Amino acid sequence: MKAFENMEVWFVTGAQLLYGGDAVVKVDAHSTEMVDGMNKSGLLPVKVVYKGTANSSKEVSDVMKAAENDRRCIGVITWMHTFSPAKMWIHGMQELRKPLLHLHTQFNKEIPWETMDMDFMNLNQSAHGDREFGHLLTRMRKNRKMVVGHWQDPKTLGHIAVWERVAAAWADAQDMLILRFGDQMNNVAVTDGDKVEAEVRLGYHVDYTPVSELMEYFKRIGDEEVDRLVQTYFAEYDHDAALEDRTTEAYQKIWNAAKAELTLRACLTDKGAKGFTTNFDDLGEFDQIPGLASQRLMAEGYGFGAEGDWKSAALSRTVWFMGQGLPGGCSFLEDYTLHFNGEQSAILQAHMLEVSPLIAEKRPRLEVHFLGIGIRKTPTARLVFTSKPAAGITATIVDLGNRFRLIVNAVDCIPSKPLPKLPVASALWIPQPNFEVGAGAWILAGGTHHSCFSYDLTEEYWEDYAEIAGIEALFIDKDTTLREFKREMRVNEVYYLLNKALC
Ligand code: MN
């Protein structure tokens, strides 16, 4: 199925009947032409559906209620073609909880200097109509994305496209189920948090699934199915020919890893889950950490968090969802170890095993090596690769006790080297603006050692996400200084305390 195929964004045009029915007929025709043009541009991942003009408080309320009730609708774009007195938008805006984009545009691109008359003016009034509407939204403290530009300009459409992807991922998160196989890694603070508040604020639901329950699926996996999956591995990945020798321990390890993958997928499918966490101390009958399974399930779009990190599992699903169809790829990653080298100082990103092959530079290599961590210290199957040298962005959400904080860091992935004695998948990046400030700001913000990385997303995606979720967002990029960053965090501390008191 094509990404976003079952989703729609609704387009509602503000007008009023003051200028007579003829004006509204023209507004309607213009809006139809605009929405057609936007859809035909090929630049918008989610189809825009024109829902007509809204000319009264009742019409606005009706269309917003309908938007709320329609499962396909993931958000609403509003535009005031004529002056649309904003009091008529109050009740409708109270109804709308889905993402809102206010588009400040105009049907006509340029002023028709020679022919412009009062009829033209009565029609092309977004210059003040959108200000009236914007005032009300600000007065109501209504979160929205503001996009300004001509509706045919690819730049304008690019901003709408970003918001569409974020709104789609937001919709996806509202019925997202994350399964925790085993609990949080004992004593770890940063990966834990308030699951009730996460469901209230961010939409997703997190359930504990005992490993004993997962083992019920394990028992039902047939040998032939496992054999077939092992052959898929050999077809998809580079590997030593010796691995195909069925009499070896290495082959048995790959076979067991394939059975673990089928077990996890069966359980996730059965329960309708979109992501999961594992815990390397709680493995049931798995003979090894199901790292290869986690790698492949991530590549399919399942969110993943290691050591019970359910926030990363949910956010990595969201990152994958937003980036569907884009060329770069994404993965759950962990700050592994540091490489001090002056201006090129960098952080190696890896995990015991669980890095998505979507970010691989070349075809991943299937290997089996001893892994000496957790309750199964044994040879373990995994995909080994280095990642593409390119710019990207990484993000995490932490629970500060009184709120969730999104932390975003623009990073530059640089060429990495193989690790013959630690054969795992990895990336190597320099956080912006440089290692010293980037890592310093992240740590001061309380950021995790786990994060959700993407080559495709930009800061704009995360701005839109934070706006829709209504959570704090901190950006670490080329403009960051630690002095300003600390000031921003202190100001935010007061803002969120007051905001909580006002709500
Ligand atoms: Mn970890």
Instruction: Give pLDDT tens digits for 2-52.
Output: 899 999 999 999 988 777 777 788 889 999 999 999 999 999 999 999 999
Q: Ligand 1 mean position to 185 CA, how many Å?
A: 9
Q: Ligand 1 mean position to 30 CA, how many Å?
A: 53
3-state secondary structure of 331: strand
Task: Assess whether pLDDT exceeds 80 at residue 89.
Answer: yes
Q: Ligand 1 mean position to 93 CA, how many Å?
A: 42
Q: Ligand 1 mean position to 168 CA, how many Å?
A: 28
Q: What value does the mean pLDDT take over residues 73-90?
A: 93
Q: Ligand 1 mean position to 440 CA, how many Å?
A: 20
Burial class of 492 by CB neighbour count within 10 A (0 to 12, 13 to 18, 19+): middle
Task: Assess whether pLDDT exceeds 90 at residue 124.
Answer: no
Q: Ligand 1 mean position to 403 CA, how many Å?
A: 23
Q: Ligand 1 mean position to 464 CA, how many Å?
A: 28
Q: For residues 182 and 167, state if they share a domain.
A: no
Residue pLDDT, tens place only, 443-454:
999 999 999 999
Q: Using alpha carbons only, what angle is made at residue 310 by residues 307 and 315, rounded to the nearest 5 degrees?
A: 120
Q: For residues 168 and 188, state if they share a domain.
A: no
pLDDT of residue 502: 58
Residue 429's pLDDT band, with cuts at 50, 70 and 90, is: very high
Q: For residues 364 and 227, state if they share a domain.
A: yes
Q: Ligand 1 mean position to 332 CA, how many Å?
A: 10
432, 435, 438, 443 alpha-carbon torsion, rounded to 10°: 160
Q: For residues 316 and 414, state if they share a domain.
A: yes
Q: Ligand 1 mean position to 189 CA, how many Å?
A: 12
Q: Ligand 1 mean position to 294 CA, how many Å?
A: 13
Q: Considering only CA atoms, which of 308, 297, 333 is closest in space to residue 424? A: 333
Q: For residues 46 and 181, state if they share a domain.
A: no
Alpha carbon distance, N-terminus to C-terminus of the chain? 41
Q: For residues 215 and 101, state if they share a domain.
A: no
Residue pLDDT, tens place only, 401-424:
999 999 999 999 999 888 999 999
Q: Are 98 and 173 in contact (CB under 8 A)?
A: no
Half-sphere exposure of 193 (CA within 13 A, CB side): 28
Q: Ligand 1 mean position to 306 CA, how many Å?
A: 5
Q: Ligand 1 mean position to 449 CA, how many Å?
A: 7
Q: Which of 173, 188, 217 is the last residue of a domain?
A: 173
Q: Ligand 1 mean position to 35 CA, how many Å?
A: 46
Q: What is the DSSP string of 444-464?
A: HTT--SEEEEESS--HHHHHH
Q: Are 233 and 258 in contact (CB under 8 A)?
A: yes
The residue behind tokens 């080559």 is 455
Q: Are 136 and 18 in contact (CB under 8 A)?
A: no
Q: Ligand 1 mean position to 315 CA, how many Å?
A: 15
Q: For residues 33 and 141, state if they share a domain.
A: yes
pLDDT of residue 1: 60
Q: For residues 359 and 412, state if they share a domain.
A: yes
Task: Assess whether pLDDT exceeds 70 at residue 238.
Answer: yes
Q: Ligand 1 mean position to 465 CA, how many Å?
A: 25
Q: Ligand 1 mean position to 257 CA, how many Å?
A: 20
Q: Ligand 1 mean position to 334 CA, how many Å?
A: 6
Q: What value does the mean pLDDT take over residues 99-106?
A: 97
Q: Ligand 1 mean position to 186 CA, how many Å?
A: 12
Token representation of residue 379:
């040879």
% residues pLDDT > 90 (the chain): 89
Residue pLDDT, tens place only, 373-387:
888 899 999 999 999
What does each C-alpha distance from 116 to 30, 32, 120, 127, 165 come to in angstroms?
A: 17, 22, 6, 15, 38
Q: Ligand 1 mean position to 396 CA, how many Å?
A: 13
Q: What value does the mean pLDDT take over residues 415-434?
A: 94
Residue pLDDT, tens place only, 126-178:
999 999 999 999 999 999 999 999 999 999 999 999 999 999 999 999 999 99
Q: What value does the mean pLDDT take over residues 432-459?
A: 98
Q: For residues 231 and 359, state if they share a domain.
A: yes
Indicate the number of domains in the chain: 2
Task: Assess whether pLDDT exceeds 60 at residue 503.
Answer: no
Look up the domain containing 360 and give its range. 177-502
Q: Ligand 1 mean position to 118 CA, how many Å?
A: 65
Q: Ligand 1 mean position to 397 CA, how many Å?
A: 15
pLDDT of residue 22: 79
Q: For residues 89 and 130, state if they share a domain.
A: yes
Q: How far apart are CA 401 and CA 411, in angstroms?
A: 28
Q: Ligand 1 mean position to 307 CA, how many Å?
A: 6
Q: Which of 118, 139, 173 is the last residue of a domain?
A: 173
Q: For residues 314 and 462, state if they share a domain.
A: yes
Q: Ligand 1 mean position to 351 CA, how many Å?
A: 6
Q: Ligand 1 mean position to 460 CA, how many Å?
A: 27
Q: Which of 118, 147, 173 is the last residue of a domain?
A: 173
Q: Ligand 1 mean position to 279 CA, how many Å?
A: 10
Residue 215's pLDDT band, with cuts at 50, 70 and 90, is: very high
Q: Considering only CA atoms, which of 435, 431, 441, 445 is closest in space to residue 481? A: 441
Q: Ligand 1 mean position to 314 CA, how many Å?
A: 15
3-state secondary structure of 77: strand
**Angle between the N-to-C axes of helices 154-174 and 310-322, in degrees from 0 to 180, rounded to the nearest 10:** 140
Q: Any idea what the CATH number is for the domain that residue 126 is in?
A: 3.40.50.10940
Q: Ligand 1 mean position to 78 CA, how many Å?
A: 43
Q: Ligand 1 mean position to 331 CA, how many Å?
A: 13
Q: For residues 237 and 110, state if they share a domain.
A: no
Q: Ligand 1 mean position to 285 CA, how many Å?
A: 22
Q: Ligand 1 mean position to 415 CA, how many Å?
A: 23
Q: Are 7 and 322 in contact (CB under 8 A)?
A: no
Q: Ligand 1 mean position to 358 CA, how many Å?
A: 19
Q: What value does the mean pLDDT take over residues 322-345?
A: 97
Q: Ligand 1 mean position to 450 CA, how many Å?
A: 6
Instruction: Read off the pTM.
Output: 0.97
Q: Ligand 1 mean position to 268 CA, how many Å?
A: 21
% residues pLDDT > 70 (the chain): 99
Can the peptide bond before residue 433 be classed as cis, meaning omega within 30 degrees of 0?
A: yes
Q: How far apart are CA 284 and CA 308, in angstroms?
A: 15
Beta pairing partners, 207 = 179
Q: Considering only CA atoms, which of 438, 431, 390 is closest in space to residue 411? A: 431
What does each C-alpha distance from 145 to 199, 397, 464, 465 come to in angstroms?
A: 23, 21, 7, 10
